[in-house]
Amino acid sequence: MTRAAGRAVRIPAGRQAAQRQATEAAALVAPFVIAYLVLFVYPTLKLVQLSFTASPLIGTGKWVGTANYVRLAGDGLFRASVYHTAYFVALTVVPTTLLALGIALMVSRLRGWRQSLVLACFFLPYILPVTVVTLIWQWLVDLQFGVAQPLLRLVSGGSGVAVFKSPAWAMPMVALVTIWWTNGFNVLLFTAGLRNIPADYYEAAALDGAGRLAQFRHITWPLIWPVTALVLTIQLILQLKIFDQVYLLTQGGPFNSTYVVVQYIYRQAFVLNHGGYAAAVALFLFALIAALSVLQYQVLRTRESR
């Protein structure tokens, strides 16, 4: 440790100084570390322990070994919730990434107040609470008085659509609302990324007679790819954790057609009072996200090494 301390600060050196520094460091990191241990490490370990018991939400239950996991493997509603979550991911991740890239390309060619205004319009929904977003959309697509109903009738070919009560419409609509809500974040990342591409690349390409399309293919797309990969992984991880919008818009219905994984955790723990089983479901999500986060970390590292 003294060697490391010597590298960091040359004055004052010596063992005594290193010791003083360690004490000061302990005081500075203590609040975070204590919070981290109590609110993060302990709940995580407790979750693992809980998943091997038949506990209710509050109170103790007997040790059941891997019974919860065995049950999970054969649980139809759980499997359905995994399937619906995957469907939601498919409906949101790639579409929102492409849409955001398109919007960012448009925004980046604007200048001055036009750029700030347009960017602000696309970003504004992102900072709103989810309940506000869902209340607004419920009103927009309201079967009787919704201002979007004429548009929906156009798609459905005639009659009005109760979008959140139709198994075919519900999940795509939840996805649409989610994209409207969160797309601004992706637009922001892409706009920042596009700004980092030097303008002289385009000027040189234009001198060589490259058209807009060729410029996009040979300059923009390869240079923005690291940001694209980042957005894709962030979105993938984020959308796997879908709960709020589904719960608020459809409660998982109709006929469980929008039931998702986090909702299943919620239901087992807080509705059915099956703490142990809920913990097993939660650990499944935990493992999935942890694995994908490793992927995200790799993507970030490739980005930084460039």
Partner 1 sequence: MRPWHRPSDLLLSLLALGSAALWVFPLYWAIVTTLKPEDEVVAPGFHLLPLHPTVGAYGYVLAHTTIARWYLNSLVTAAAVTVLVVAMSATCGYAISQLRFPLRRLLFGLILASFMVPLQALIVTHFILMNDFGLINSWGGIVLPQLIVPVVVIVYKQFFDAIPREFREAALVDGAGEFRLFMQIFLPMNWGVTTALAIITFIGAWNAFLWPFLVASTDRAMTVTVGIVQVHDAFGVQYARNIAGAVMAAMPVALAYLIFQRRVTEAVALSAGIKG
State which residue, 139 or 167, has the beta carbon closest to partner 1: 139
At its nearest, how many Å lie between partner 1 and the CB of residue 14? 13
Residues 6+ apart with CB under 8 A from 300: 230
State which residue, 168 or 203, has the beta carbon closest to partner 1: 203
Residues 6+ apart with CB under 8 A from 283: 47, 48, 51
At its nearest, how many Å lie between partner 1 and the CB of residue 79? 18
Name which of 236, 240, 235, 198 is nearest 219 in CA terms: 198
For residue 124, the one-letter residue type is L
State which residue, 49 or 167, has the beta carbon closest to partner 1: 49
At its nearest, how many Å lie between partner 1 and the CB of residue 81? 13
Q: For residue 99, what are the CA distances in angstroms to 176, 189, 213, 305?
A: 12, 13, 17, 27
Q: What is the CA radius of gyration of the chain?
A: 25
At its nearest, how many Å lie between partner 1 and the CB of residue 203? 9
Interatomic CA distance for residues 160 and 154, integer angstroms? 9
State which residue, 170 or 269, has the beta carbon closest to partner 1: 269
At its nearest, how many Å lie between partner 1 and the CB of residue 33? 7
| Phi, psi torsion values for 195, nearest 5 degrees | -65, -30
State which residue, 7 or 157, has the beta carbon closest to partner 1: 7
At its nearest, how many Å lie between partner 1 and the CB of residue 179? 11
State which residue, 171 or 279, has the beta carbon closest to partner 1: 279
Residues 6+ apart with CB under 8 A from 78: 72, 261, 264, 281
Do 217 and 233 meet the contact criterion of CB atoms below 8 Å apart?
A: no
Interatomic CA distance for residues 176 and 75, integer angstroms? 29
Tokens 């600060």 correspond to: 9
